[in-house]
Chains A and B, each alone.
Chain A
C-alpha cells in the first residue's frame, strides 16, 4: 500500500457498506464463515432506515393460511412488479423468506403471536394471504435490533458515522473503499477483495419522501462510477399513504398496515373511490363492491379489497382524486380506520401510527380520519446482480443486497417484501462475498493515486472562497425531481429535467462550505449531492427511455403497458462521467414457473 501511510488503513476480507437489514445480515453471514468482516455506516448503529419499517416481513410461513406457499408468494411478487422482476430473485426470495424469519426468532426477536403461540401474520397490499410477520407497527425496529445485537455478539467491527466516498479498484476488480469519519473529517482506507453494497435508496432526490437524510443514492452512484450496471432506475415507488399535514411531517410514512387491518380510503365526498380504479390486470382477484371487500378480511373466499391493490395503483388513484378536486383540505385523501375498528384494536395493532398522528398532527386516529397522500418511498431500480450470488454483473468483487440491488421487485415492490428481501439477499451477499474473498488470489494492489483523487475531491468545497450553499442546491433538485420526474411523467418534462440536472451539476461543482472538518453536515451534504445528482440523472434518463407505463413508472404520453417492453430492463451505465441507457433483455422465466401464471388467470 505505498503512498497510503498518511491515512488510517484497514484490511478485511469482506467490507459491508451500510448497516440496515441487508448490511447487518450480510455481515453476520460473512463473519459466521470466519472471514474478517467490517461494517461501515453513515449513522450510529441501529439507526439505519430499516428501523422505520412498520408493517412486517412477508414470508409464506402458513401460520394463518395453510393454503399459502412459496409459489403463491412468488406469483404475487411477480404480478405486483408487473412481471419486470428478475424471476430467479423473486423465486429465491419467496422460497427462503420463511427460514429467514424463523432465524430472527432464534436470535431473540419477539413477533406478535397467533392464539396457538406461533408467529402471527397480517394482510398487506398485493398479497393473496395474510403473510406479514410483524410486531405491531414497529417491525423494522424489531428486525434491526435483533440483527444489531446478533452482529455485536459475533464481534464484527463496526465503523459508525463513517461515510464511504468511493470504491477502490485493482485493475478490473473491486479492491476496497475510501471513507471519511463524520466526527473528524479524517480519511480511512479499506482494503478488501469483497465489498457488499447495502446502502439503501435514493428518496432524498425528491421533495416529499418518507426517507431519511441518509438516502442519497450513495451505493447506486458508487457502483455506477466503478463500472457496474444499474437497471430499472425509472421505477420509483411512491407510497400511497404519507402524512400530508402539518408541513413539517409531509411525506412521513403511514403504514399500509392501516389498510391491512381494515382501514379504507375515502375522498372528500366520503366515497370509497378505489372501486373505480381497479385495473384489468387485477380485476379477477379484486372485490368490486363494498360488502365483498369488507368480507375479505375475515374470509379469503371473497376477493381482496381494492384498498389493498399494489402501491403503484393506489398512489395513482389518490393522485387522480386530488387532481379532480375531490381531495382533503390539505391536498390528500382520507384514510379512515376510526369508523371501522374499535379504539382498542387500533391502539393495539397500530400503536406508533396512533402516537405519530396524536403527537405530530393533533389527530386522534381512533376518532378521526387521517389525511394521506403519495410520498417517495423506495427505488426498485439498482445494481444489476446475479440472482443467486448477488455479485454485481461485470464487476468482480462487488456485491449488492437490499434496496441498492435491482431486479427483485420489478417495476413495483409489494409491501412487506422489502424486509424479507433484506434478509434473503443480505444472507446470500454475505455468503458469496466471503467465498469470493477466500478464493481471491494474490495481494490487492491499490494505486495511491485513486485515494489521493478522492481526498482532493472531498476536500475541494473547503478550498473555494465563493460558492453556493449545498442546502439550496439540494432543495432545488428535490423540487425539480418532484415536478418533472414524479408520479406522472411525460417526454417534454423529462427532457427538461435532464437539462436542469446538468445545470445543478454545474452549481454543485462550485459549492462552498463553511466551518471545520469536525461533524460538519453542510460539508457532508455537499458530498452526498454528487450521488443525488448521479442517481437523479439515471432516473430521468431511464424514464425517458421506457416509453410505456408500468408499475412505478407512469408516462402520461404512453399510458398503457407495452408487451414488448415487458421483456427488457433499461440499463444505465457511466463512462467518463457520462450516463448512457440501453434496453437489454430480461432473463427468461423457465416454463415450469410460467405455468403458475397461466393456470390462475
Chain B
C-alpha cells in the first residue's frame, strides 16, 4: 500500500458519483468532497451526509471491518466502504458508489437484505453431543481451525451480492441460500460437537447444486475465507458421497470429524 505522508499543500478534492433513490427509481448524483489523509470511502460518504445531503442513507457500525454493515459497490466492485482507502483510486477520476445489486433497494446505499435472515432461520440449529463427564467439552485446536475460519464471517453479504446464481436470476432466490450459508452449513457440518443431519437441506432447499464454483464469492470475502475451496466443494462432495454411502456419514459424525 502506498503511504502518503504529505499533510500540507492545497486540499485535494474528489468527485463522487453516489446513487440516490429508492424503490421508485433514482440516479447517480455528483458530490465534490475535500480529501484528508487516510480517508476511506465511508468517511467520504459521511462527509457528504454531514455537509451536503443529511438524508443520504447508508448502513455502518464499527468502521473497522468487523461488523459487515457498509457493503456497497464501489466503481462496480463489491466492497466494505470502511476498509476501502481513497488512495487506491486513480487521481482525477470520479468514483461511483452504488448499493448492492442483488438485493431490493430501500434507499440510496441501503438494500433489503432480509433474504439472508430468512435463510438463516431455515438452517436446523446446532445440536451438540452430550458433554464429557465433567460437564464440559474437550476439543483440540486443530479440529476447530477450519470452523474458526468459517466463523470469521462478518455477514457483510458481499459473497451473496456477487454470486451470479442470485445476482442475475431473481427466480433462483427461493431455492438457493448463497455462499454465506454454505459457509454456515459447512461450519456446522465440521463442528466436532454437532450431531444434526443437514445433508438433505444442503442438497435440496439450500440448492448447492446451482453453484458452479466460479469462486467470485471467495474473491470478494473481506475476511479471506476460502469459501469455494474450504466450504462449498467439501459440502458438494459430502452431499454426493453421503447420498450413496449413508454409513460413512454416520461413522464420520460419531468419530467427531
Q: How far is the CA of A153 from the CA of B126 in the complex (A)?
A: 9
Most buried by A among B65, B131, B151: B151
| CB 8 Å contact bits of A359-374 with B (1 = contact, 0 = none) | 1111000000000000
Contact (Cβ within 8 A) B57 A110: no
Contact (Cβ within 8 A) B63 A252: yes
Q: How large is the interface on B (under 10, 10 to 19, 20 to 34, 35 or more residues)?
A: 35 or more
Contact (Cβ within 8 A) B106 A52: no
Residues of B contacting A: mostly: loop
Contact (Cβ within 8 A) A521 B66: no
The segment from B90-98, B139-147, B199-207, B211-219 found at the interface with A is: B139-147
Q: Is B113 located at the chain interface by the 8 A CB criterion?
A: yes
Q: Give the distance to chain A from B13, nearest Cβ to Cβ, in Å.
A: 16
Contact (Cβ within 8 A) A352 B151: no
Contact (Cβ within 8 A) A360 B140: no
- Tell me which residues across on chain B come within 8 A of A145, comparing CB atoms: 151, 153
Contact (Cβ within 8 A) B151 A359: no
Q: Is A312 located at the chain interface by the 8 A CB criterion?
A: no
Interface size for A (C-beta < 8 A) is: 67
- Tell me which residues across on chain B come within 8 A of A150, comparing CB atoms: 125-126
Q: How far is the CA of A355 from the CA of B223 in the complex (A)?
A: 10
Q: Give the distance to chain A from B41, nearest Cβ to Cβ, in Å.
A: 10
Contact (Cβ within 8 A) A52 B67: yes
Pick from A140, A213, A525: contact of B60, CB under 8 Å? A213
CB-nearest residue of chain A relative to B191?
A: A108
Q: How far is the CA of A471 from the CA of B46 in the complex (A)?
A: 10
Q: Is B38 located at the chain interface by the 8 A CB criterion?
A: yes
Q: Is B75 located at the chain interface by the 8 A CB criterion?
A: no
Q: Is A67 located at the chain interface by the 8 A CB criterion?
A: no
Q: How far is the CA of A514 from the CA of B64 in the complex (A)?
A: 29
Q: Is B137 located at the chain interface by the 8 A CB criterion?
A: yes
- Tell me which residues across on chain B come within 8 A of A32, comparing CB atoms: none
Most buried by A among B63, B153, B188: B63
Q: Is A44 located at the chain interface by the 8 A CB criterion?
A: yes
Q: How far is the CA of A142 from the CA of B149 in the complex (A)?
A: 11
Q: Give the distance to chain B from A463, nearest Cβ to Cβ, in Å.
A: 16
CB-nearest residue of chain A relative to B139?
A: A117
The segment from A243-251, A450-458, A583-591 found at the interface with B is: A243-251
| CB 8 Å contact bits of A12-52 with B (1 = contact, 0 = none) | 00000000000000000000000000000001111111011
Contact (Cβ within 8 A) B155 A521: no
Q: Is B154 located at the chain interface by the 8 A CB criterion?
A: yes
Q: Is A470 located at the chain interface by the 8 A CB criterion?
A: yes
Contact (Cβ within 8 A) A51 B55: no
- Tell me which residues across on chain A come within 8 A of B69, comparing CB atoms: 43-44, 47
- Tell me which residues across on chain A come within 8 A of B67, comparing CB atoms: 46-47, 51-52, 212
Q: Give the distance to chain A from B137, nearest Cβ to Cβ, in Å.
A: 6
* Known A135-B151, A248-B39, A355-B65; contact A518-B106, beta-carbon cutoff 8 A: yes
Q: Is A516 located at the chain interface by the 8 A CB criterion?
A: yes
The segment from A99-107, A218-226, A268-276 found at the interface with B is: A99-107
Q: Give the distance to chain A from B188, nearest Cβ to Cβ, in Å.
A: 8
* Known A149-B120, A248-B43; contact A212-B63, beta-carbon cutoff 8 A: yes
Contact (Cβ within 8 A) A359 B55: no
Q: How far is the CA of A140 from the CA of B148 in the complex (A)?
A: 13
Q: How far is the CA of A138 from the CA of B223 in the complex (A)?
A: 12
Q: How far is the CA of A252 from the CA of B113 in the complex (A)?
A: 27
Q: Is A116 located at the chain interface by the 8 A CB criterion?
A: yes
Contact (Cβ within 8 A) A106 B54: no
Contact (Cβ within 8 A) B121 A520: no
Q: Is A356 located at the chain interface by the 8 A CB criterion?
A: yes
* Known A245-B38, A522-B49; contact A513-B55, beta-carbon cutoff 8 A: yes
* Known A107-B126, A113-B144, A152-B121; contact A356-B65, beta-carbon cutoff 8 A: yes
Contact (Cβ within 8 A) A44 B113: yes
Q: Is A141 located at the chain interface by the 8 A CB criterion?
A: yes
- Tell me which residues across on chain B come within 8 A of A248, comparing CB atoms: 36, 38-40, 43
Q: How far is the CA of A213 from the CA of B61 in the complex (A)?
A: 6
Q: Give the distance to chain A from B163, nearest Cβ to Cβ, in Å.
A: 19
- Tell me which residues across on chain A come within 8 A of B63, comparing CB atoms: 212, 249, 252
Q: Is A183 located at the chain interface by the 8 A CB criterion?
A: yes
Pick from B40, B107, B128: contact of A106, CB under 8 Å? B128
CB-nearest residue of chain B relative to A253?
A: B64
| CB 8 Å contact bits of B23-53 with A (1 = contact, 0 = none) | 0000000000000111110010000011100
Contact (Cβ within 8 A) B59 A138: no
- Tell me which residues across on chain B come within 8 A of A519, comparing CB atoms: 57, 106-108, 110
- Tell me which residues across on chain B come within 8 A of A356, comparing CB atoms: 64-65
- Tell me which residues across on chain B come within 8 A of A118, comparing CB atoms: 136, 138
| CB 8 Å contact bits of A460-473 with B (1 = contact, 0 = none) | 00000000011110
Pick from B61, B65, B83: contact of A47, CB under 8 Å? B61
Q: Is B68 located at the chain interface by the 8 A CB criterion?
A: yes
Q: How far is the CA of A52 from the CA of B85 in the complex (A)?
A: 20
Contact (Cβ within 8 A) A361 B54: no
Q: Is A112 located at the chain interface by the 8 A CB criterion?
A: yes
Q: Is B6 located at the chain interface by the 8 A CB criterion?
A: no
CB-nearest residue of chain B relative to A215?
A: B61
Q: Is A515 located at the chain interface by the 8 A CB criterion?
A: yes
Contact (Cβ within 8 A) B151 A469: no
Contact (Cβ within 8 A) A46 B155: yes
Pick from B3, B62, B110, B128: contact of A52, CB under 8 Å? B62
Q: Is A523 located at the chain interface by the 8 A CB criterion?
A: yes
Pick from A52, A183, A520: contact of B66, CB under 8 Å? A52
Q: Give the distance to chain A from B243, nearest Cβ to Cβ, in Å.
A: 26
- Tell me which residues across on chain B come within 8 A of A515, comparing CB atoms: 54-55
Most buried by A among B55, B155, B188: B55
- Tell me which residues across on chain B come within 8 A of A358, comparing CB atoms: 1
Q: Is B175 located at the chain interface by the 8 A CB criterion?
A: no
Q: How far is the CA of A442 from the CA of B28 in the complex (A)?
A: 55
* Known A51-B61, A246-B38; contact A110-B66, beta-carbon cutoff 8 A: no
Contact (Cβ within 8 A) B56 A153: no
Q: Is A214 located at the chain interface by the 8 A CB criterion?
A: yes
Within A202-216, the residues touching B (CB, 8 Å) are 212-214
Q: Is B58 located at the chain interface by the 8 A CB criterion?
A: yes
CB-nearest residue of chain A relative to B136?
A: A102
Q: How far is the CA of A135 from the CA of B149 in the complex (A)?
A: 11
* Known A47-B61, A518-B22, A522-B55; contact A116-B125, beta-carbon cutoff 8 A: no
Q: Give the distance to chain A from B185, nearest Cβ to Cβ, in Å.
A: 12
Q: Give the distance to chain B from A105, nearest Cβ to Cβ, in Å.
A: 6
Q: Give the distance to chain B from A469, nearest Cβ to Cβ, in Å.
A: 6
Q: How far is the CA of A514 from the CA of B63 in the complex (A)?
A: 25
Q: Give the distance to chain A from B27, nearest Cβ to Cβ, in Å.
A: 16
User: What are 23 sample pairs from A and B whose C-beta atoms fall under 8 A apart?
Assistant: A43-B61, A47-B69, A106-B131, A106-B137, A108-B191, A110-B144, A113-B144, A141-B66, A183-B110, A212-B67, A247-B37, A249-B64, A362-B1, A470-B54, A475-B50, A514-B54, A516-B55, A519-B106, A519-B108, A519-B110, A521-B54, A523-B55, A525-B54
18 more A-B residue pairs beyond the given contacts A112-B141, A117-B140, A360-B38, with a C-beta to C-beta distance below 8 A = A47-B62, A47-B67, A47-B68, A142-B151, A149-B120, A152-B117, A183-B106, A213-B60, A246-B37, A248-B39, A248-B40, A362-B3, A471-B51, A472-B50, A475-B50, A513-B55, A521-B57, A522-B49
4 closest Cβ pairs, A-B complex: A246-B38, A515-B55, A522-B54, A117-B138
